[in-house]
Structure 1
Amino acid sequence: MTQSEPLPTESAPSEQSASSAHGLTTGAVARRLGVAPTTLRSWDRRYGIGPAAREDGRHRRWTPEDLAVLHEMCRLTSSGIPPAEAARAALAGPASAEAAPPAAPGPLPPPGRRPGSGNGLRLGAVRQECRGLGRAAVRLDAWAVDDLLGSVIAQYGLVTAWEEVMAPTLHAVGRKWETSGDRYVEVEHLLSWHVSSALRRAAGPPPVVSRSAAPPVLLACVPGEQHTLALEALAAGLAEVGLSTLMFGAAVPPEALDQAVRRTGPAAVVLWSQGRSTASPALARHVADTAWGVKGARARPAVVPAGPGWAGQPLAPGTVRPGGLREALTLLRGLCDAAAGAGTGPGSGSGRPGVRDQS
């Protein structure tokens, strides 16, 4: 089903016949665009983005021309342009957009000086794409969310898109939910699903041959941890540089993690913890002590505790906790290169420097 098709309800045929004769009602337009009816009324009242005709002088009826203006309004606000400015451009029509020369690709512009918001989200001084993503998510505009995520990744790269657009918007939605009772849960679920989908598209299929022939990087959330999006971003980033990964996702039981390490002989094991209640230094030490290989040249994985839950936790000497996605990618590339040079793996006869066990 495309965004422009009516929902398959019993009233759909009558809406179609009404649209052909009199135009669409505000409710029908809202369903088509994934926008709340109150948003359409607000745009009409504040910016004049409304139907050209009103049946009997009262009931709003939206024509195809009105819908074209609305589509442009949604597109512009989802790209981060403030609603008032977006309304002026949408009402001016495509001629004004064609007259302007296309912008050359380049780095993200600096964050705005004024605190921005996404329809009630407290975002602070952030990129305009972040504000646009917040607005689209609060409107439950799935098409705009998906389109914006894809364009940001394509234009600025995965790391910048995650650190400067996706993660700040997810945090803002989470804060809004926590401070609004049970409201905005649907916004968080919609945004999380589309972010996950965008990250998986960016990762693509697993590489047939690793760039360095290194053992894989094993990615797992610690037991009790359900937040996986940051780990999915790391998986996509590793795939982007040609490193193979094994993603085990949320709340991996200790026994399953132990078996996975012994069976695959990974170059590194990333243990993600979002909150202090799930971080387990004992589990990290156990994984770091898990060995494989022949006697006299057994190998052990490098353990990388990742996520805010590990802050302040007692970690083994020499353990590095990366501060963000970019730092984690640099660290793991180095570990994979070292593993490839040492030829480690379950069945190889040598261990990596620093993790070789002579027992």
Structure 2
Amino acid sequence: MTYAPRAVAAMLGVSPVTLRTWDQRYGLGPSVRTEGGHRRYEDSEVEVLRRMVALTGQGVAPAAAAELARQEPVARQAVQRIPVDDAGSAQRGFLAAAKRLDEPLMMDLAAKLVTDHGVVSAWESVFVPCLVELGDLVTGRGRGVEVEHLASASVLHALRGVQRSSRPGVLAALLSCAPDEQHVLALEALGAALSEEDCLWRSLGARVPAEALCDAVVRLRPAVALIWAHRADLAERVPLEDLHSSSDALLAVAGPGWTGLSLPSFVRRPGTLPEAVSVVLSRVR
């Protein structure tokens, strides 16, 4: 696949002038020409430019960054996916720390689970059951919100501790909440799981207006755009048709808010974290 210079500039968040400068000064230009003489970047050249953007953003001088960008990145070590052998014990330990409001211990336990077993196993076997139980306690007793919030914050801290991919390339996934949706933890789990797979992703976070979501998908051109909603009234405010007509991104939706809604044929609806990861991987690989 090849890309026009303006498309690459939009993809990378730089100006076309910057791309021309890097081409003229450092030879980081497109090598392909169409029959009409238009210049086009190949995927490998876009990856080099992504490395260039990342390096200059870290303060590396452009000339040195160009040399480093041409070098192949060191392969990341794959996360070893082992099932949590004693999920019940891990849940009890995390819940006990939560009920004592022992945030440092919760953070340590959550980080160790992610490191030892990977995001998907930790999320499905421990984090989700614990957060559901804490949520049920709040609903049943009308108290304990502080416990639930500290537990969620500890899980979020562990998820954000997963090293993000530094490999340049096409943006694999753009993650977003529906308009006025405030629950972001599941999106953070998906992002962390994608990082373990060495995929590039960005998250727009909570309460993303419909217009802003459409603009971001057009500008960033992700392979997959996934929108989360936990209530139907929030899910119904997502402009699926507009997103589809304005972008080549595969559209996916997740969260309980989509249950029972009639979805267009072009929308995927993964029901679990592994399914969501699979949707992205199948699109980019």
Q: Answer yes or no: same fold by TM over 0.5.
A: yes
Cα deviation, 1:30-73, whole Å, max 9, x if unaligned, reads xxxxxxxxxxxxxxxxxxxxxxxxxxxxxxxxxxxxxxxxxxxx
- Match of 1:259, SS state, is helix
Choose between structure 1 and 2: higher helix proportion: 2
What is the aligned partner in structure 1 of residue 262 from structure 2?
314
Compared with structure 1, are the counterparts of its residues 136 and 336 closer, same or farther at alpha carbon in structure 2 (3 Å cutoff)?
same
- CA displacement 1:210-239 (0-9 Å, x = unmatched): 4xx333311000001100000000000111
Indicate how the Cα distance of structure 1 residues 320 and 106 shifts in structure 2: closer, same or farther if over 3 A, else same.
closer
> Which of 133, 137, 141 is residue 176 of structure 1 equivalent to?
137
Q: Deviations over 1:7-32 (max 9, x none)?
A: xxxxxxxxxxxxxxxxxxxxxxxxxx
Map 1:92-111 onto structure 2 (within 5 A).
Answer: 107-109=83-85
Could you list the per-position Cα deviations for residues 243-278 of structure 1 after superposition, in whole angstroms to 9, with x for gaps in the alignment? 111111101011111111111111110000112221
8 Å contact from structure 2 (residues 218, 246) kept in 1: yes
Structure 2: distance between partners of 1:107 and 1:253: 38
Decide whether the 8 Å contact of 2:94 with 2:106 is kept in 1: yes
Letter in 1 for 2:125: E
Deviation of residue 132 (structure 1)? 1.2
1:326 matches 2:274: yes
The reply to whether residue 188 of structure 1 matches residue 144 of structure 2 is no
SS of the equivalent of 1:270 reads strand
Aligned residue type for 1:261? V
CA drift of 1:109 comes to 2.5
1:151 to 2:99 alignment:
no
Offset, 1:107: 3.8
Following the alignment from structure 2 to structure 1, what is the Cα–Cα distance between the partners of residues 84 and 122? 9
TM-score, normalised with respect to structure 2? 0.68
Structure 2 counterpart of 1:129, from 80, 86, 90: 90
> What SS is found at the alignment partner of 2:231?
coil
Runs of at least 4 residues off by over 4 Å: none
Q: Is the 8 A contact 1:284 1:305 kept in 2?
A: no
Higher relative contact order (CA closer than 8 Å, sequence separation 6+): 2
2:263 aligned with 1:263, yes or no?
A: no
Question: What's the offset of the Cα at 1:168?
Answer: 1.0
> Distance in 1 between the 2:135 and 2:239 partners?
28
Aligned to 2:283: 335
* Aligned-partner Cα distance in 2 for 1:188–1:309: 21
Contact map agreement 1:218 1:245 (CA 8 A) in 2 = yes
> Does the CA-based 8 Å contact 1:275-1:308 persist in structure 2?
yes
Which whole-Å CA distance do the structure 2 matches of 1:106 and 1:158 have between them? 10
Alignment counterpart, residue 214 of structure 1, candidates 142, 165, 170: 170
Structure 2 gaps of 5+ residues are 1-80
Amino acid at match of 1:225: E
Q: Secondary structure at the match of 1:289?
A: helix
- TM-score, with structure 1 as normaliser: 0.55
